[in-house]
Structures are given as C-alpha cells and as structure tokens.
C-alpha cells in the first residue's frame, strides 16, 4: 500500500513528534510515513529526536527573513522531499493564507488544549497548561484539527479530554 508522505514541522523539543515517530514504528500510522522533520530554529531537540528515529531533519530559519522568504524555503524543502501532508506539532509560526492555500486540507495542527479554550495568540506549549491550571478547569486535553482559511481555523478532527487532578503541574498536564 502506498503511504502518504508526511512532514512534521516543529519549533522546539518535539514531544509530540516523538509520539508520532513511536506510533509510526509501532505500526499505528498505517496510511502515512514521516519522511521529513522541518524546524524553523536550528539546534532544537526535535531534530535530534528525528535523527534518533532515522528520519531526516532540516532547518528553514524564520528569523531574519521575510514571511515570504521563509515560506518559499519551506515550500522548496517540502517539494524536494515529495511531501503530501504537513503536521504542525509544536510549530510556533503562523503560516500565511497564501501558503495554506497551496496545501488544501493537507495541513493538520496538534494543539495542546480543547479548542476553543486556551488557544490563539500566546497559547502554546506549557503556557496553555499554565493558563488552564490558573483558570481552575477540571478537564483539559488536546485537539487535532485540519487547517484552512475559514474564520474558525479549520475542521476539528479529534479532541481528547483528560481530567485535571489535584497537584497537576503544567508539565504533568
């Protein structure tokens, strides 16, 4: 069976990436294959995680260049690897509508909260969990959604709730 060629875009440590790579190795991604990990920052641990699993990693720096230059570099790297789908897993850059239009219904975002809670500007990584704990929610979770141009940010594919327990820290949550 042909598998969809997937690139995972990251900006940091790559904890979500690690879980995707483990799922791939365990056969839980039967229809896709992670063929490339792209980071917008050099030296992030996610690139080491990719290498540890035998997946090529590459940096397309976002600092010091325009959005258009950055996205042209991303597009070139994705085309070179013949990528068919993109997964944003801890990727801390906003992609332009022009870039997203080139990938219709082929960009999936992993967000560390139950959308619409704790999302938007400034809500990423541990900041999401810090905010959830500060607010006192009893349930938190994660959302996987398809990215597109509609105002609500895309179609939710799956949400998973977890109970917030006494003593939970942002790291535990």
| Residues that are catalytic | 111
Query: What gap in Å lies between CA 54 and CA 161, rounded to an integer?
Result: 32
Cβ neighbours of residue 17 under 8 Å, at least 6 residues apart? 8, 10, 37, 46, 49, 50, 89, 90
Name all contacts of 102-105 with Cβ < 8 Å and 24+ positions apart.
102/75, 104/148, 105/146, 105/148
- Phi, psi at residue 19, to the nearest 5°? -65, -35
DSSP 58-73: EE---TTS-HHHHHHH
Query: What gap in Å lies between CA 107 and CA 141, rounded to an integer?
Result: 20
Q: Are 68 and 99 in contact (CB under 8 A)?
A: no
């Amino acid at each position: 069976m042909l598998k969809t060629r997937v690139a995972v875009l990251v900006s940091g440590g790559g904890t979500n990436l690690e879980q995707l790579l483990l799922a791939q190795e365990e056969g839980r991604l039967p229809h896709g294959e992670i063929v490339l990990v792209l980071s917008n920052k050099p030296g992030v641990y996610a690139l080491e995680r990719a290498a540890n699993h035998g997946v090529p990693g590459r940096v397309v720096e976002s600092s010091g260049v325009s959005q258009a230059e950055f996205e042209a570099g991303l597009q070139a790297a994705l085309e070179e690897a013949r990528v068919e789908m993109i997964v944003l897993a801890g990727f801390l850059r906003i992609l332009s509508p022009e870039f997203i239009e080139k990938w219709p219904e082929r960009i999936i975002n992993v967000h560390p909260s139950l959308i619409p809670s704790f999302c938007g500007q400034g809500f990423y990584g541990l900041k999401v969990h810090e905010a959830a704990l500060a607010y006192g929610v009893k349930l938190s979770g994660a959302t996987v959604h398809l990215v597109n141009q509609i105002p609500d940010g895309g179609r939710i594919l799956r949400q998973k709730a977890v109970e917030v327990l006494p003593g939970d820290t942002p790291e535990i949550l």
